[in-house]
Structure 1
Amino acid sequence: MGHVEDRWYKTLRHPGGQRERVKTELFGKGLRYRVRYIGPDGKERKKSFPDRAKREAEAFLVSTESDKLRGSYVDPKAGRITFAEYAENWLRTRSFDESTRESTEFRVRKHLLPFFGSEHLASIKPGHIREWDASMVGKLAPATRAVVFAHLRTILGAAVDDERIAKNPCSAKSVKPPRPVQRRVVPWRYDQVSAIRGGLAQRYRPMVDLGAGCGLRQGEILGLGVDDIDLDAGWVHVCRQVKLVRSRLVFGLPKNDRDRRIPLPDSVAQVLRQHVDDFAPVSLTLPWEDPTTDERVTVPLLFTTTRRGAINRRTFDDKSWRPAVVAAGITPTRATGMHALRHFYASSLLDAGESIKALASYLGHADPGFTLRVYTHLMPASEERTRQAIDRLFEPGSGGAGS
């Protein structure tokens, strides 16, 4: 059991049992009270408190002994590592795909290390989190702030798991996580999609059909092989994408690491048949996920550059997509990339009465709830359908309540 030691006084025992409290040679020097206790590893620990802080010292001892009994004790020395040291170790040992690792490293080093880097983990309190978040307002978009805050909470959560700190300051009630502004999706009209398609070179036009007619992401379209489409049975198998990792093109799994099958409409299948006739697939070999790895994958790609190479999305967006958007009379913004074709696809399916669950599966969303939050305002109003359904139920001879 631990105890609180008063370093400024000591008790002398005289013959006959009398006791006398006298000053020590440390009187008036340094911190007065020292808590001594045995840690779970059997080693002695100590923590000092100033004069007039005996209650705080006793409270610390009681709390420490209680934590030991509950198995939640954290060695105060464990939290002396700086945030920068721990964050770099977290980045090195965290399991990411390489493109996610690259973007996470960038956000942590640019937006977290300058503020928290020199702080010891144990010294980071909820107030520091609130101060950091306030300093980011106006500097980062709400969506980016939310992502960076999630990184911070995950790093400090890992520190709790590693018994570096006892609690995650990001989870305190006084800390309000930043929330991205949920903008309402406004799908393009068919004539706008058609105009953009017409503004692209012929070899790239079927990419619009796959985006608007099958809901594929841009990287998934760029990574689609001729063997991934079943033109007769009417299916598209999405099993990879082309992405940029450290400025190099690689093949990788689709977002959320989940492949999926999507119904292939006859109209899109006809376009793809003609495309294969006009532009023969080119077998290209790229690294898998990590550009430094020795693992290589060869795919007969449906879409390639005029030089028969894999398409770099940045080059395609600048040289082909953006000019086509402008030519269609649409002002280019962050919302007018190829991702807008997925919104067109989703709105078309919802308007036709498709379920949210099926739509989420086709879009490759891990959570149908996310699909619902993004597209719920596009679902056809149900009021009139409700009236008609009840009216039919109560019609004479319907077998319902009126019969």
Structure 2
Amino acid sequence: MRAKSVRWSKAPEDQREAWSVETAQCVRDVINPRYRITVVLALGCGLRQGEVFGLSPQDVDFERGVIRVRRQVQLLNGRLYFTLPKGGKTRVVDMPRSVAAELAAFFLQCPAVEVELPWGGPEPERERRAFPLVLTTTYGNALRANIFNVEVWKPALAKAGVIPMREKAGSWKASRKDGFHILRHAYASIILEAGESVVTLARWLGHSSPTITLDHYAHFMPEAGGKGRAAVDALLGEVPAYVPENLALA
């Protein structure tokens, strides 16, 4: 086992599960109308929950059809703060026209509210920055993931039939795989099944390498190799009518 030619076996790839389009649409339609846009942004652009909570109208470019993901809202030890997206990098994601239309309508109904929080961590001594946020509570505060998940997200899952309805004074019976992040997985599955490149998806998701995207989502790519076979067939032409008996075609 000390020999350099021996390699430890690799752990199974960390493949992600995704909802069907029908399930995602159902959750979008039954969630509290004020927060419908959270599902639209996660399902339509692949934003993480904290990135949705930290989105500002200033980050939305309707003319170019893109969203600039510049910050997220995080919660630590009961305190909220702004910080850069995961990995410490900002990114630009494509904004489909359907998402743009929903955002434009939402901006008219719910004007942004400026929120000031520490930057980079929850410590009071940190520099504070203020941004107009697309989403806030009815009191004008930044959203807290723990409260949102209990009071908005899980009730929507129950209405959609994803999880059982909560018994009185009981806790929600939801598995980790049904968290808000599953919308991001559904987004990835939709993009790959549509034939978009892994490199493009990796850029939109904010992955440091397309390898990470492949490890997580390669199983969503339909008929792997199909395009390559079609390209070769187009180059070489039709298969000859006569094929020697000793040549087996797979």
TM-score interval w.r.t. the shorter chain? 0.7 to 0.9
Q: Which residue of 2 aligns with 1:307?
A: 139
Computing the radius of gyration from Cα coordinates, the structure with the larger value is 1
Matched, 1:367 2:198: no
Distance change in 2, residues 1:377/1:230 (3 Å) = same
Distance 1:311 1:194 in 2: 23
In 2, Cα distance between equivalents of 1:348 and 1:267? 15
- Count of matched residue pairs: 222
Aligned residue type for 1:328: A
1:275 aligns with 2:95: no
Alignment partners' CA distance in 2, 1:180 and 1:237: 35
CA distance in 2, matches of 1:223, 1:285: 11
Q: Which residue of the partner structure matches residue 197 of structure 1? A: 28
User: Higher helix fraction: Structure 1 or Structure 2?
Assistant: 1
- Give the alignment of 1:229-244 within 5 angstroms: 229-244=60-75
| Partner of residue 259 from structure 1, selected from 66, 70, 90 | 90
Residue 237 of structure 2: aligned partner: 395
> What residue in structure 1 maps to residue 170 of structure 2?
none
Q: CA distance change for structure 1 residues 383 and 357 in 2, over 3 Å: closer, same or farther?
A: closer
The counterpart of 1:333, out of the listed 169, 175, 189, is 175
**238-247 or 287-296, which moves further after superposition?**
287-296
**Which of 122, 125, 131 matches 1:291?**
122
The question of whether the paired residues in 1 share the 8 Å contact of 2:81 and 2:120 is answered with yes
Q: Residues 14-53 of structure 1: matches in 2 within 5 Å?
A: none
Gaps of 5+ in 2: 164-173, 239-250
Q: Deviations over 1:164-202 (max 9, x none)?
A: xxxxxxxxx9xx99x876453232112111111122111
Shift of 1:370: 1.1
**Larger RCO (CA under 8 A, 6+ residues apart):** 2
User: 1:123 maps to what in 2?
Assistant: none
Normalising to structure 1: TM-score of the pair? 0.52
Confirm or deny that 1:184 pairs with 2:15: yes
SS of 1:329's partner is: coil
Q: 1:250 aligns with which of 65, 76, 81?
A: 81
Quickly say closer, same or farther: Cα 1:395–1:351, change in 2 above 3 A: same
Map Cα deviations across residues 307-348 of structure 1 (whole Å, 9 max, x no partner). Answer: 221100000001110111121111321011111111111111
Alignment CA distance shift 1:188-1:369 (3 Å): same
SS in 1 for 2:93: strand
**Unaligned stretches of 5+ residues in structure 1:** 1-172, 397-403
Structure 1's 390 and 368: CA in aligned 2 closer, same or farther, altered over 3 A?
Answer: closer
The yes-or-no answer on 1:215 pairing with 2:57 is: no
Bigger shift: residues 378-387 or 304-313: 378-387
Q: Name the SS for the 1:380 alignment partner.
A: coil
* Cα distance in 2 for residues equivalent to 1:181 and 1:206: 35
| Aligned: 1:344 with 2:175 | no
Distance in 2 (CA, whole Å) between partners of 1:386 and 1:222 is 41
Taking the aligned partners of 1:258 and 1:339, their CA distance within structure 2 comes to: 19
* Coordinate RMSD, CA, aligned: 2.1
| CA deviation string 1:281-308 (max 9, x = no partner) | 0011111122222411111000011122
- Amino acid in structure 2 at the alignment position of 1:362: W
Secondary structure of 2:35's counterpart equals helix
Task: State the one-letter code of the partner of 1:339.
Answer: H
In structure 1, the residue matched to 2:199 is 357
